[in-house]
A and B are shown apart, each in its own frame.
Chain A
Amino acid sequence: MAKSEESAAGAALLQVDDLQVEFVTRDGVARAVNGVSYSVGAGETLAVLGESGSGKSVTAQAVMGILDMPPGRITGGRVLYRGQDLLTMPEEQRRRIRGRKIAMIFQDALSALNPVFSVGWQLGEVFRVHEGMSKKDSLRRAVELMDRVRIPAAAQRVNDYPHQFSGGMRQRIMIAMALALEPDLIIADEPTTALDVTVQAQVMDLLAELQAEYNMGLILITHDLGVVADVADKIAVMYAGRIVETAPVHELYAGPAHPYTKGLLRSIPRLDQKGQDLYAIKGLPPSLLHIPDGCAFNPRCERAADRCRAELPLLQAVLDEDGADLPGRRSACHFWKETLHG
């Protein structure tokens, strides 16, 4: 099912193919990622949307090779970077790709930056590790990077420590660190969630601007549909370790083909709904230890039928009302037709 997904933007930069990850816990095996496939090309932004526990971050960590193993383990699938499988590649070769070709931005910059080293040291480390740069030169480059992400008085602040910066500035430092070697692909895991709303927009704009400038691929992991609309090209919605719907961003907003996506869109507060009760999807996401049989979403789904409790829906092509294929659109719902057109 991943084959046809190779984006129209040309050969995929990164292609995740039927990835499966589980965690061994005291209470049993938690199946966090159950056959996820997606791809992203140069200059393209893929938003991976889902609640916490949907497997969106775990997928990213598996791609990046920073999964805690144990307790985590990758039980299947491939992660292809320019056609090479990162999962079977020797560690040293993979290390050279990390940070240089694929970089990552984390959610909480305060915990993602080492508290005992100056930001300049940490930014410079990328150059020292990958380019064998001297301490002095790497520090100079760190200042340039800080300027690049518009941190005021970069030269004076390069020796400051993470706790001395504001949340927004720290996230800019994380972005600078990811950008350092102008990678092909950036994975941003909830990059704005920990920030104030006003700062969120600034950081998102900066990220989008730099992405365009360097023509990077971007995987934006988020639970916030609002963040996605402006920056993403396409969306993959995840639920209980699976992708339940993929679509170009505007088509998804215009007409979701999965009840879960529909529920998410309905639960965004809108001004024209003033006075009405806010919609919420009933129930809670399932425990990954006991994923429901059939469609994982069926206990919360308004449309659930017997078939949904028995048969696992696979991602399938979504057609328009005339029966023509909608490119890039897939839904894992037995009733996608009713959901989209009904």
Chain B
Amino acid sequence: MGRYLLRRLGQMIVVLLGATLILFACLFVIPGDPVGSLAGSERSRDPAVVEQLHKRYGLDKPLIVQYGTYVNKLVHGDMGEDYTQRRPVAEILGPKLVNTSKLAIAAIVFDAVIGAGVGALAALKRYSLWDTVVTLITTILVGFPTFVIGMLMLNLFAVQLKWVPVIGDPSDPVQVVLPAITLAIIDAALVARLMRGTMLEVLRADYVKTAIAKGVPRRQVLLKHVMRNSVIPVVTYIGISFGSLLGGAIITETIFNWDGIGMAMSTAIQQQNNPIVVGVATWGVAIFVLLNLVVDLLYAMLDPRIRLS
């Protein structure tokens, strides 16, 4: 396990370095030179001032040095200043990340508990009315984009039923429910389908027959032998879906006016506040890579065939 962890950590660092290269390249070619705008409009700008600013921000150095500086700053949490408020990007995004985390964690819990639970129940009660209804709903639900779900939810619960305000308040735990369901429900449908399929397969597996033949009570067969094997693909899937979850968070937060990094990115796009855009992207990539590592380790813990190979 230790060696596996080390290998995965090494891979992660390589991936993160590669990703920073792409992000750096984007920062470098992004239209609207930050120094230029600091030095005033293009016509009135004083070449001496521009040069001085270039020097101050290290833009006169070779690219490789600039990249080094950029990575070094990034490691220390410095992502530069934004254009509109002239405040450090990390400082602006920090509190918003907490709000996004609340949303994301609620969504993942929903996926794992409701999605897997619904799927497991459908598998156990195969061919029942419940199974049919679950299959039908999940089949249709996977075709719904997040923004459509969000607008339908907002219309129904905030506008028509007035159960929640249109602008979400992240400090109210009740209000996380609607955006979290919006963010989670498509993946939950997929998780439910995956769980149902996997579990039907596991229920037919020889080792389940062995357990019954050993005289293990049915409850224990289900909870230990069946569940343990059925959750493995589900855990992997939830790991893969983090990417779409982060993308979905941008949309969901925009719809529900949820003050997280997703809405910050969406607002920054409108204002062409590029440091924020790149900042959110950087964090997004870092979080995605880190969570994937966590899922891989979880996967290895659950499946000895991976851990010991």
Contacts and interface: CB of A to CB of B under 8 A. Distances in A.
B42 interface: no
Contacts, number: 79
A31 B269 CA distance: 67
A98 B229 contact: no
B212 to A, nearest CB: 5
B10 interface: no
A56 B210 CA distance: 18
Interface residues of A, number: 33
Interface in B191-223: 204-207, 209-218, 220
A245 interface: no
A269 interface: no
B228 interface: yes
A98 B215 contact: yes
A141 interface: no
A115 B215 contact: no
Nearest to B228: A116
A330 B207 CA distance: 36
B225 interface: yes
A14 interface: no
A106 interface: yes
A64 B215 contact: no
B221 to A, nearest CB: 10
Interface in B206-255: 206-207, 209-218, 220, 225, 228-229, 232
Contact of A125 (B204, B216, B228, B302): B216
B205 A111 contact: yes
Contact of A129 (B204, B220, B302, B303): B220
Interface in A103-122: 103-104, 106, 108, 111-118
A98 B212 contact: yes
Contact of B305 (A68, A113, A115): A115
A96 B212 CA distance: 11
Most chain A CB neighbours (cut-off 10 Å) among B216, B229, B308: B216
A280 B302 CA distance: 48
A97 B302 CA distance: 32
Contacts of A163: 304-305, 308
Contacts of B228: 114, 116-117
A129 B214 contact: yes
A177 interface: yes
A177 B211 CA distance: 10
Nearest to B202: A114
A64 B209 CA distance: 10
A77 interface: no
A106 B210 contact: yes
A130 interface: yes
B76 to A, nearest CB: 42
Contact of A116 (B211, B214, B220, B304): B304
Nearest to A164: B308
A129 to B, nearest CB: 5
A312 to B, nearest CB: 32
5 contacts: A61-B209, A98-B214, A103-B213, A114-B229, A115-B304
**What 7 pairs across the A-B complex have the smallest Cβ distances?**
A99-B215, A98-B215, A99-B214, A114-B207, A111-B206, A104-B213, A112-B206
